[in-house]
Amino acid sequence: MPVKRISPFVWALVATLLVVAGGVSPVVVAADGVEVRAVDHTGAGVVATENGRTYVASWRPSTVSVAVAGDGDYEVCLRTDLDDGSTTSLGCEPLGSAGANATGDQRVDFEFETWPANATGDRTVTAVVRPGGGEPVAQASHGVTVLAPAGDADGDGLGNRDELDRGTDVLVADTDTDGVPDGEEVNRYETDPTSTDTDGDDLSDGVEINEQGSNPTETDTDGDGLDDGAEVTTHGTDPTTADTDGDGLDDGAEVNDYETNPTATDTDGDGLDDGPEVNVHETNPTAADTDGDGLDDGAEVNRYETNPTEADTDGDGLDDGREVNVIGTDPNRGDTDGDGRGDGAEVEAGTDPSAAPGSVVGSLELGGDGWLLVLAVAAVAVALLVVGARVRRTDARARLSDVRSLATDRGDEAAANGESADAVRTGGTGGAARPESAADGYPDAEELLDDETRVLRLLDDNGGQLRQSKVVEGTGWSKSKVSRVLSRMAEEGTVTKINLGRENLIARPEDVPEHARSPFDES
């Protein structure tokens, strides 16, 4: 039976309808039952299929398979449209050259190493069945989008070939949905466009780039010992600033070492920032009163100039807080009223440690007027202490000299009388033992000296010059107290501080080395 012919106009109309529909369907059935069942695009070049459209990488191999129902002496030809609107043939193969498919239809395969360079973009691939050299008896069309290597199908700034090589989605601008387009991840931030969190710090790349300003390729942007994610989600700190609260301690040290609050400058609220507590005063930044003496660390450092790591700064047997808040004595002076007896001994004996020698602390039998008198006397004593502070510093040195002289004289006397040193100490043969220490009511000479005099004594014992670190060792004070006392003495002109690089040399003005003197100083 002769094959029924279809006019070219009908072929064009049917092909157009198929392209618009984006699918494949038989368009002509010959008298002998020839029919195009399917046109499929497969192989490594096929990168996606969406909404009935196949996306093909033009630089990768692919195969177009045409399934035809029917048998006979026919050939199948493949063609596609070009950039200029013309049509080009992609080749012809005899029907059944690839065997039959699962349904028994004859199959023809067209294999391509690359797709024609001038046939990229949205294209229509048409399969035509015809007898050798005769008119078509059946055909079907298939819509494809052919991707050029340098093109950018998703507009993310990353070329099609580059996306496929990196494993990103050629049709999705942000493959890992982290808020940063693939092109920016690769070309600008050097992050992984297939991983939401490139550095694994528990902050997505998009959050680091768009919100925090941290480095998405570094787990710890500011190098403070805390990962960026932990800073933002746990501690509330700034991942781009090592010391969020500006207290002198890095956030990591506050969290991991000192258990302080990295967002508060003064964790314990004692008036000292956490950094100075750790680095200068050696106090506990999580305890307001490090030494438990009843005075907060800030008050000890800034107001009373006592040692915040020693409960009893002057060693008189009274805690600093008790001296300031209860008794009213000087926590830096073992003998506040200078009467030769330590404050602790006076309190124990019932005498007033801030009044003239012999004064007795008021008893409960005192009336209102009696207490007023005691307070008035105490006020006068305090005023005298303030006025005579400078004088007592000089007197303390004199008293120390007298103590030493007395010891020497008594030693000479003992030698002349044939007495032993123990006899001198006890007042001679058969004499009653004299008190030796503050515990007996008579403090050692060292306890009677004020801070300045103790420093001057150290200098005298060391040729008038001493490194500041040795002053710390010799006095047993904290570094911060030594620094305060020396600064005060330098302002008063009683000592000179000479910078040696990493520390200071402390000297009496008359003992300053020649090389350190100003050319304007008198010899």
Describe the chain by its helix, strand, coil percentages, rounded to 5.
35, 15, 50
Give the Cα separation of 195 and 177 in Å (integer).
9
Which DSSP helix (H) or strand (E) runs through 479?
Answer: helix 479-492
Give the Cα separation of 340 and 334 in Å (integer).
10
Which domains does the chain show, CATH number per domain?
A: 8-147 (2.60.40.2550), 325-426 (no CATH), 450-516 (1.10.10.10)
Residue-wise pLDDT tens digits, 267-297: 999 999 999 999 999 999 999 999 999 999 9
| Identity of the amino acid at 103 | T
Residue-wise pLDDT tens digits, 309-355: 999 999 999 999 999 999 999 999 999 999 999 999 999 999 999 88
Phi/psi region, residue 103 (left: phi>0; alpha: psi -120 to 50; beta: rest), is alpha
Give the Cα separation of 150 and 234 in Å (integer).
44
> Which letter does DSSP use for residue 111 in this model?
E
43 half-sphere exposure, CB direction, 13 A CA radius: 20
Contact 373, 380 (CB under 8 A): no
The whole-number pLDDT of residue 4 equals 39
Predicted confidence band of residue 72 (pLDDT cuts 50, 70, 90): confident
Give the Cα separation of 342 and 444 in Å (integer).
9
State how beta strands 53-57 and 138-147 pair.
parallel
- What is the average pLDDT score of the chain? 81
Q: Other CB atoms closer than 10 Å to residue 432's CB: what's the count? A: 7
Give pTM, 2 decimals: 0.60
